[in-house]
Amino acid sequence: MSELATVSVTALKGVGAALAEKLAKVGLENLQDVLFHLPLRYQDRTRITPIGALRPGQDAVVEGIVAGADVVMGRRRSLLVRLQDGSGTLSLRFFHFSQAQKDGLKRGTALRCYGEVRPGATGLEIYHPEYRAQNGDEPAPVEQSLTPIYPTTEGLTQQRLRQLSQQTLARLGPHSLPDWLPNEIARDYRLAPLDEAIRYLHRPPPDADVEELAEGRHWAQHRLAFEELLTHQLSLQRLREQVRRQQAPALPPAQKLPQLYLQNLGFAPTGAQQRVGAEIAYDLAQSEPMLRLVQGDVGAGKTVVAALAALQALEAGYQVALMAPTEILAEQHFLNFSKWLAPLGLDVAWLAGKLKGKARAAALEQIAGGCPMVVGTHALFQDEVKFQRLALVIIDEQHRFGVQQRLALRQKGIDGRLCPHQLIMTATPIPRTLAMSAYADLDTSILDELPPGRTPVNTLVIADSRRDEVVERVRNACQQGRQAYWVCTLIEESEELTCQAAETSFEELSAALGELRVGLIHGRMKAAEKAAVMDAFKQGHLQLLVATTVIEVGVDVPNASLMIIENPERLGLAQLHQLRGRVGRGSAASHCVLLYHAPLSQLGRERLAIMRETTDGFVIAEKDLELRGPGEMLGTRQTGLLQFKVADLMRDADLLPTVRDAAQALMEHWPQHVAPLLERWLRHGQQYGQV
């Protein structure tokens, strides 16, 4: 029997070129793909329910005799069929019907039908049931297994997908679908055979626990989730090994520059900064590339750690590149590093997408000529950017950069031969479950201490009907010499509308607070304008800054102690936490007001309550993951792999430690099984494991 992975879907009865093209759209090219295209849910058509026992909301198969069929005129014309079985009466309602259909449903016809029962004007009803007239003396058999409902695309019916899976299941056996998990692993982790799990999930028997299947806790799902998570883990481990096998410049610990830098800084690093700094310094001294993720909650001082790492490379005579996801954040790093490195006699170059013409040519020349420190946006990835001796790349806010982009940096190494060390920083704390799966290729350090003098921010949740009170609150704070932010959030994902909303708020607040100096900053302003407004706010020339979420990361104004966020229900918790982190950076008591628009959904209420209760970014990240799921948290575009077919990171979090061990064992003892697993699960995903 040939392996199903090598047999095209066109081998199935009824699959011609047109259907094959539709199947390819949902990733079904061979018979193995068909088997791994698993049902989303199931319908129970294995038993007939007496009409008298029906409950609203239930999906059920019923049988009865038609007692009457009439066209009724309500708001919409409909055909109403009354069905009786001796235990009660049920109405079947059709809004789309033909004369022939009406004639086929005459009094006395025996019907079997299926659909969702709902309360209606005449008692219980089913809208547009699937039905079949029963003729002959032998009642047709009911289904022998639960009916699968598959993920589909336009032009692919459930009926067709069931036929294809039925034909493929007939060819399924231990030899046609090899189990790449060795017996030892299956035994140690108590995993069922693959073919049994697949067969069960496509056609669960009538006594299957539907609730367990719906929640993804069934043994058959567990078996597949384990294999899928294992494959994901293998792809990242493989990636890590490929990077580790490369040479990197070994940078000796710096003696001189860090001391000078810390003297000029004016404050001592926290214990956490010293600890993480030492971990990084050790990695940089090795001749294999560092891959380290530094997570620090808002305000934990990641930039100081990055500067210490940079100085180790600079003292050894190499170049350092620092990359940030937005121009405003990149500019802020540029200003900071210029200020810190000037006294040490080191130049800083600047490169962003908006640099054009002569300025751009000059920057490229400066970088190619060996300028020690280069700061910019992802424009640094571009082919024409040539470094002379790049030894360290620092990436801020990693979740905005995909794994592929990180790998592209390799080519920027010395002679394309030595791979630069990579230090990745994020102020979005990543829950452990996600870090173990999405960032399995990185070592992780955590900055878990806030610098002294930081004050926890007090968060209030207030309805926008009390906007006037909030405006007064801003007036009072500013009159006492403090500064405030007023943040306008995204309206329906349109940057243009958001900028308009910010402009409107700016006009209204300027009018209401005539005596205050109010500034405006949004994404469509030129970078120079933004920088000028930001600088005026920093210097204290502006008291209130109306802004869009462009101020989310990295802006540091210690005197700002009040933040108002409009429509906070539109943002993720991590983003709200980031914004809130712009206040509480000085010693004054700080407040964040979440000005929501009523009515709030249950989920909205829950989320804002979490913001009120905790300022711990890791707690918030765990909750955000529970409420929104991993794709959204990491920005689905670059998670690629986090679109799991069977596994669910929240539900299966407890599997991750065992999956990591199993991945390790597989790579050591059964390396030949890795490629077929990657091929099976990741052929259509981003293939992280193949660089």
Per-residue 3-state assignment (H helix, E strand, C coil) for 232-247: HHHHHHHHHHHHHCCC
Strands 77-84 and 89-94: antiparallel
Query: Which CATH class name applies to 51-133?
Result: mainly beta
What distances in angstroms separate CA 162 from CA 147, 200, 201, 252, 433, one per listed residue?
Answer: 9, 14, 12, 63, 35
Q: Please state the separation of Cα 403 from the chain's center in Å.
A: 14
What confidence score (pLDDT) does residue 477 get? 92
User: What angle do helix axes 617-628 and 602-613 make, rounded to 10 degrees?
Assistant: 170
Tokens of 295: 């997570």
Residue ranges of the chain that CATH labels 2.40.50.140: 51-133
Local structure of 493: helix, strand or coil: coil
Q: DSSP letter string over 401-443?
A: S-HHHHHHGGGGSBTTTBPPEEEEEESSPPPHHHHHHHTTTSE
pLDDT band at 628 (very low <50, low <70, confident <90, very high): low
- As a whole number of angstroms, the distance between CA 230 and CA 652 comes to 12
Which region holds residue 554: left if phi is over 0, alpha if psi is between -120 and 50, else beta? left
- As a whole number of angstroms, the distance between CA 192 and CA 174 comes to 12
Q: What is the mean pLDDT of the chain?
A: 84
Write the pLDDT tens digit of every residue in 285-294. 999 999 898 9
Tokens of 137: 């003396």
What confidence score (pLDDT) does residue 691 get? 29
Determine the average pLDDT of the residues in 492-519.
82
- Selection from 30-44, 310-324, 366-380 with the highest mean pLDDT: 310-324
Strands 390-396 and 421-426: parallel
What confidence score (pLDDT) does residue 460 get? 93
> Could you tell me the pTM of the whole model?
0.65
**Res. 404: pLDDT tops 70:** no
Local structure of 644: helix, strand or coil: coil
More reliable by pLDDT, 141 or 477: 477
What confidence score (pLDDT) does residue 15 get? 87
**Res. 637: pLDDT tops 50:** no
- As a whole number of angstroms, the distance between CA 274 and CA 3 comes to 56
- As a whole number of angstroms, the distance between CA 681 and CA 398 comes to 25
> Are the beta carbons of 476 and 546 closer than 8 angstroms?
no
> Are the beta carbons of 298 and 427 closer than 8 angstroms?
yes
Local structure of 507: helix, strand or coil: helix
**Res. 686: pLDDT tops 60:** no
25-29 contacts: CB < 8 A, separation 24 or more?
Answer: 25/153, 26/151, 26/152, 26/153, 26/156, 27/683, 27/684
What confidence score (pLDDT) does residue 555 get? 65
Write the pLDDT tens digit of every residue in 46-99. 888 898 888 888 888 998 999 988 888 888 888 989 998 888 889 998 988 888
Determine the average pLDDT of the residues in 119-125.
85
What confidence score (pLDDT) does residue 639 get? 38
- As a whole number of angstroms, the distance between CA 151 and CA 39 comes to 7
Determine the average pLDDT of the residues in 565-593.
84
**Res. 452: pLDDT tops 60:** yes
Query: Which segment of 190-199, 327-336, 394-403, 448-457 scores lowest on mean pLDDT?
Result: 394-403
Residue among 484, 518, 483 at smallest CA distance from 504: 518
What confidence score (pLDDT) does residue 589 get? 86
Question: Cis ω on the peptide bond leading into residue 50 (within 30° of 0)?
Answer: no
pLDDT band at 250 (very low <50, low <70, confident <90, very high): very high
Residue among 235, 173, 682, 201 at smallest CA distance from 437: 235
Phi, psi of 110, rounded to the nearest 5 degrees = -90, 130
571, amino acid identity = L
Determine the average pLDDT of the residues in 203-229.
89
C-alpha distance across the termini of the chain, in Å: 34
**Res. 427: pLDDT tops 60:** yes
What confidence score (pLDDT) does residue 402 get? 59
Local structure of 625: helix, strand or coil: helix
> Are the beta carbons of 555 and 582 closer than 8 angstroms?
yes
Tokens of 444: 């992780």
Q: How many CB atoms lie within 10 A of CB 581?
A: 25
Determine the average pLDDT of the residues in 532-544.
89
For the chain, give the percent of residues with pLDDT over 90.
Answer: 31
Residue among 376, 388, 429, 393 at smallest CA distance from 280: 393
**Res. 399: pLDDT tops 60:** no
Residue ranges of the chain that CATH labels 3.40.50.300: 457-614
**Res. 514: pLDDT tops 80:** yes
Residue among 529, 391, 423, 540 at smallest CA distance from 478: 540
- As a whole number of angstroms, the distance between CA 430 and CA 54 comes to 47
- Is the sign of the CA dihedral 63, 66, 69, 74 positive or negative? negative
Domain 457-614: give its CATH code: 3.40.50.300
Local structure of 602: helix, strand or coil: helix
**Res. 175: pLDDT tops 80:** yes
pLDDT band at 688 (very low <50, low <70, confident <90, very high): very low
What confidence score (pLDDT) does residue 474 get? 94
